[in-house]
């Protein structure tokens, strides 16, 4: 399947821009054909205008048609076969086995949201029937449900070319809620993005969706991203990436005449706390699991454990030595892009220049394009006094921090910024003795783990992938799981409307057989 490097403005292929760029094979540091054309301001306006027009049609589509559209997307992506996986491998250096798993996750997400749309209960239909003879005032008939927001701008992430990209979770949840989507392809994998965008548009055509329900534009410049967010037709933004990038989009959205929500998943160090009994019983296996988690995917997961805390002593020293030894045998890996690799090396060097921080362990670095893994170590006093140590280092590294007391463990927890995850390795007696620590961590994270590592995010209704700032811009939302659909919907209440004029989900007859809250009782029964 030959790539053309152009933008998708609905069903139209367009190449009006003047700026071109190429994907780079990070393993070979070589350009990949073709040249990709950055969208012009006029093309961005066309894409957003198409989405604005499509919204009025798409939002009225029956649930079954939207579900079929999502399933058709899954099938079209699968039909790309090896072509998609091989292009993604060339653009990201991610192993083909990893990409096959991620493709399966992406297809599973689309089917999960299709099932959610069919079920319909996500709309949170709520009915309070009128009581006309209530004294002293009659009670009106009130009915509320969630409706779609409007066109959503989605930004692809560098580290998940399928699952957090063109047809990833943000796109799937936005489309499932009834919103058109305009995707800004990630310039690190533009060919992969083009292949998936073509699959989405073929699915839209086969499902009878309106033109403009999906568009995708290319761009390396910040101005492309900002123009999309500032466009009057945009009603929400989905983003996964750096704190700097997410905050820039958030600020731009907040400064609009009509501010819009930006659901940005950004930086996280995902701290691990190893309590004494767990360290004594399982220190060796925890050290092995830690290194595996830190180096998985060359450390390029948003849930990479970048901080480890434990109480000082012989057991903790042995744990650090063991982790360092295992790290020394890790094979260096190629990172997603040369710029990501350069930033990682700069941050690693900066860590080594901080007084009180040492390199406990390091893997060999075989090639210029590859990055070694690091285990850094320090004490709680140094950690608390050096703010750079609190920031995410995107790559295969972690900082192990020794604490002298339970009070220091609680102090470092209290001083953490918002996180996607925190992990506690403990035995039951540890948990009983560290209730305050657990309470502190609950206030800092979106997901709290017990005796397991945070890398690996299950896609299911109960998953929470988000957390207090700077982990995300809205700790109440998630970018993984069915609850993600709520980001792109808002409630509307209908008062004293005739039954026939109400949305299907709020009519007296429960034609969709969904769960509804009727007079404060959850039921699937019809209203009498």
Q: Which residues are marked as active site? A: 265, 302
3-state secondary structure of 334: strand
Strand partners, 402: 310, 379
Rounded Cα gap, residues 45 and 159, in angstroms: 28
Rounded Cα gap, residues 112 and 73, in angstroms: 12
Answer for the pair 96, 106: CB distance below 8 angstroms, yes or no. no
Beta-strand relationship, 397-403 and 374-379: parallel
CA 307 to chain centre: 21
Answer for the pair 472, 446: CB distance below 8 angstroms, yes or no. yes
Answer for the pair 494, 143: CB distance below 8 angstroms, yes or no. yes
Strand partners, 494: 143
Strand partners, 379: 402
Angle among Cα 257, 262, 266 to the nearest 5 degrees reads 140
3-state secondary structure of 399: strand
3-state secondary structure of 117: helix
Rounded Cα gap, residues 67 and 204, in angstroms: 11
Q: How many CA atoms lie within 13 A of 136 on its CB side?
A: 0
Which tokens go with 375?
């285990």
Place of tokens 């890398």: 455
* DSSP result, 38-101: PPPHHHHHHHHHHHHHHHHHHTTS-HHHHHHHHHHHHHHHHHTHHHHHHHHHHHH---HHHHHH
Which tokens go with 468?
């207090």
What Å distances lie between residue 363 and 74, 372, 517, CA to CA?
39, 5, 57
DSSP assignment, residue 457?
A: -
Question: Omega into 231 within 30° of 0, i.e. cis?
Answer: no
What Å distances lie between residue 62 and 118, 146, 159, 207, 208, CA to CA?
9, 15, 34, 12, 12
Which tokens go with 475?
């700790």
Provide the edge-to-edge strand list for the sheet that holds 307-311. Answer: 358-362, 374-379, 397-403, 307-311, 272-274, 419-425, 445-450
């Amino acid at each position: 399947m030959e790539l053309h490097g152009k933008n998708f403005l609905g069903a139209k292929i367009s190449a009006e821009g003047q700026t071109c760029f190429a994907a780079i094979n990070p393993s070979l540091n070589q350009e990949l054909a073709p040249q990709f054309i950055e969208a012009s301001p006029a093309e961005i306006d066309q894409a957003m205008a198409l989405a604005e027009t499509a919204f009025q049609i798409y939002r009225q589509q029956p649930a079954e048609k939207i579900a079929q559209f999502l399933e058709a997307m899954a099938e079209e992506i699968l039909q790309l076969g090896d072509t998609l996986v091989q292009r993604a491998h060339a653009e990201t250096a991610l192993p083909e086995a990893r990409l096959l798993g991620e493709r399966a996750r992406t297809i599973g997400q689309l089917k999960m949201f299709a099932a959610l749309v069919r079920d319909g209960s996500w709309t949170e239909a709520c009915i309070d029937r009128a009581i006309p003879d209530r004294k002293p005032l009659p009670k009106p008939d009130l009915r509320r449900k969630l409706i779609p927001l409007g066109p959503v701008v989605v930004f692809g992430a560098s580290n998940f070319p399928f699952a957090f990209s063109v047809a990833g979770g943000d796109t799937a949840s936005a489309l499932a809620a009834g919103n058109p989507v305009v995707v800004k392809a990630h310039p690190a994998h533009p060919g992969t993005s083009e292949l998936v965008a073509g699959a989405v548009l073929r699915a839209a055509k086969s499902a009878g969706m309106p033109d403009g329900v999906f568009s995708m534009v290319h761009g390396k410049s910040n101005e492309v991203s900002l123009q999309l967010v500032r466009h009057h037709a945009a009603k929400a933004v989905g983003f996964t990436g750096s704190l700097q990038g997410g905050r820039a989009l958030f600020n731009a959205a907040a400064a609009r005449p009509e501010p819009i929500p930006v659901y940005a998943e950004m930086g996280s160090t995902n701290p691990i706390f190893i309590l004494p009994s767990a360290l004594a019983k399982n220190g060796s296996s925890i050290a092995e699991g830690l290194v595996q988690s830190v180096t998985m995917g060359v450390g390029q997961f948003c849930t990479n454990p970048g901080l480890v805390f434990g109480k000082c002593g012989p057991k903790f020293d042995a744990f650090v030595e063991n982790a360092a030894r295992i790290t020394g045998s890790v094979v260096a890996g190629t990172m997603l892009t040369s710029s990501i690799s350069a930033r990682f090396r700069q941050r690693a060097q900066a860590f080594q220049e901080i007084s009180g921080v040492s390199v406990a362990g390091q893997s060999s670095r075989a090639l210029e394009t590859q990055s070694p893994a690091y285990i850094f170590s320090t004490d709680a006093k140094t950690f608390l006094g050096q703010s750079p140590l609190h920031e995410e280092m995107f790559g295969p590294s972690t900082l192990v921090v020794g604490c002298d007391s339970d009070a220091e463990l609680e102090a470092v927890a209290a001083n953490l910024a918002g996180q996607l995850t925190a992990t506690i390795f403990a035995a039951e007696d540890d948990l009983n003795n560290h209730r305050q620590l657990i309470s502190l961590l609950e206030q800092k994270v979106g997901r709290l783990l017990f005796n397991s590592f945070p890398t690996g995010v299950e896609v299911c209704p109960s998953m929470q992938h988000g957390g207090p700032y700077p982990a995300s811009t809205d700790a109440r939302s998630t970018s993984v799981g069915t609850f993600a659909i709520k980001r792109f919907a808002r409630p509307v209440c209908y008062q004293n409307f005739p039954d026939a004029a109400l949305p299907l989900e709020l009519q007296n007859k429960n034609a969709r057989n969904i769960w509804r809250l009727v007079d404060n009782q959850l039921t699937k029964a019809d209203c009498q």
